[in-house]
Amino acid sequence: MDVERIRRDFPIFNRKFHGHPLAYLDSAASSQKPTVVIEAEREFYEQRNANVHRGVYGLSEEATDAYEKARERVARFLHARDPQEIVFVRGTTEALNVVASGLGQTRLREGGRVVTTVMEHHSNIVPWHMLRERAGIDLRFIDIDDDGRLRLDGYDDALDGSAKVVTLSHVSNVLGTVNPVREVADRAHDSGALVVVDAAQSAPHRPLDVEALGADFVAFSGHKTLAPMGIGVLWGRAELLRELPPYMGGGEMIRSVHTDRVDYADPPARFEAGTPNVAGACALSVALDYLERVGWDDMAAHEHQLLERAFRLAAERFDGTIRIYGPPLSEPHDAVLSFSVQGVHPHDVATILDREGLAIRSGHHCAQPLMNRLNVPALNRASVYLYNTAEEIDRLFGALEKVNKVFAA
């Protein structure tokens, strides 16, 4: 994999901050975009812009065709049986809200148990809390061990033979832990529960196989997978999508509307009220093509090498003042490195790193229950993607030495 060539595909790497070339180590928050994706968005508006599924004129047909081809492309990425199982939404957050809200009117209407994990992003906690408030569901959290692995020894107790939904992240946005989704799903199904998978952090790094995962619903965001902001995907098993009530009402999601009643369209249209982000869907399709051309395995190997370098530098050069959170690299661990610097608040770390042209995330990472579990107010997180380089990792640790120097007593 030729990283220098890949970097030339991303115009943003021409930018400098405080006189340093941008070292972007926050792709877990949002990835940068290659020219082909930016051009795809532009091409739609320059050549194909019209509303979809409405006009009978040629331009609208082209727009509709492009949108539905994007749906097919995403179905291939997810190894879904049928493109009609792909719902375009704004992002993972909306996808999870569609599922939680829908189940809240069906299987969870009278309450019932929902099992999640303490490592979830708020987008996979808050919609369920809203159901707790609205429908009185009983929300249970699976704990983690001190290295950030799910503690499945407590899982059967949490399921209790009566759980209706199990919802978990495929990969933790803070710890990098790759969760054993298949095992969790099999045990959930044995106990009669549906399985919802937040794939926001895994989709950028590997093609997903919804069947192999054993999931019933899968959500991911375009903007973390090189695509624009405002486009994302909910996949659901056809029969489950059919039983789900709509999330928003409006045009496009109906079969017929009368003054005394409304008949809803079948999925996916039922969940796509209003004018969708067609340009975003086309650009997502192009982003997935781009990632496939780079090669998923090469990309994963590259990212793993960068993490290995980071772990090694942290251990060798910092005399125990840098603490890394999450499982060791000998175990499944994706693309993120969360750490604390002894005696220095993460925001101070990130401010000094910014001065060196390094963009990392600092804060609670939308995972406050996890911060509480780890007993930290906040953490630093560097995340890597296909375009990051070994030199950027070296710059990161060089800058962390400056942090220690600034704060040394």
**Candidate segments 78-86, 93-101, 146-154, 339-347, binder of other proteins by CB under 8 A:** 339-347
Closest distance of CB 119 from other proteins, Å: 17
Q: Is 347 in the site for other proteins (CB under 8 A)?
A: yes
Q: How far apart are CA 295 and CA 117, in angstroms?
A: 31
**Please, which residues have CB within 8 angstroms of residue 336's CB and are 6 or more apart in sequence?**
28, 172, 173, 174, 175, 176, 201, 326, 381, 382, 383, 384
Q: Do the beta carbons of residue 213 and residue 237 sit within 8 Å? A: no
Closest distance of CB 349 from other proteins, Å: 9
**Candidate segments 87-95, 216-224, 305-313, 347-355, binder of other proteins by CB under 8 A:** 347-355
Closest distance of CB 405 from other proteins, Å: 10
Comparing CB distances to other proteins, the nearer of 210 and 374 is 374
Closest distance of CB 18 from other proteins, Å: 8
Q: Whats the size of the chain, residue-wise?
A: 409
Give the CB-side neighbour count of residue 99, counting CA atoms within 13 A: 34
Q: Is 354 in the site for other proteins (CB under 8 A)?
A: yes
Q: How far apart are CA 101 and CA 106, in angstroms?
A: 9
* Binder of other proteins out of 362, 380, 383, 388 (CB under 8 A): 362
Comparing CB distances to other proteins, the nearer of 114 and 360 is 360
Neighbours of 298 (CB within 10 A): 12
Q: Is 342 in the site for other proteins (CB under 8 A)?
A: no
Provide the sign of the torsion angle of the four alpha carbons 59, 9, 227, 212, taken in this order: positive
Report which secondary-structure segment, H or E, holds 382: strand 379-383
Binding letters toward other proteins, positions 231-250, x by CB under 8 A: --------------------
| Touching other proteins, residues 370-409 (CB under 8 A) | 371, 376-378, 406-407, 409
Q: Quick check: is 366 catalytic? A: yes
| Touching other proteins, residues 9-28 (CB under 8 A) | 18
Closest distance of CB 377 from other proteins, Å: 3
Segments in 176-295 forming alpha helices (H): 181-190, 210-213, 238-243, 278-294
Q: Do the beta carbons of residue 351 and residue 17 sit within 8 Å? A: no
Neighbours of 110 (CB within 10 A): 9
Q: How far apart are CA 395 and CA 393, in angstroms?
A: 5
Q: Which residues bind other proteins (CB under 8 A)?
A: 18, 344-348, 351-352, 354-355, 362-364, 368, 371, 376-378, 406-407, 409
Which positions are annotated as active-site residues?
A: 366
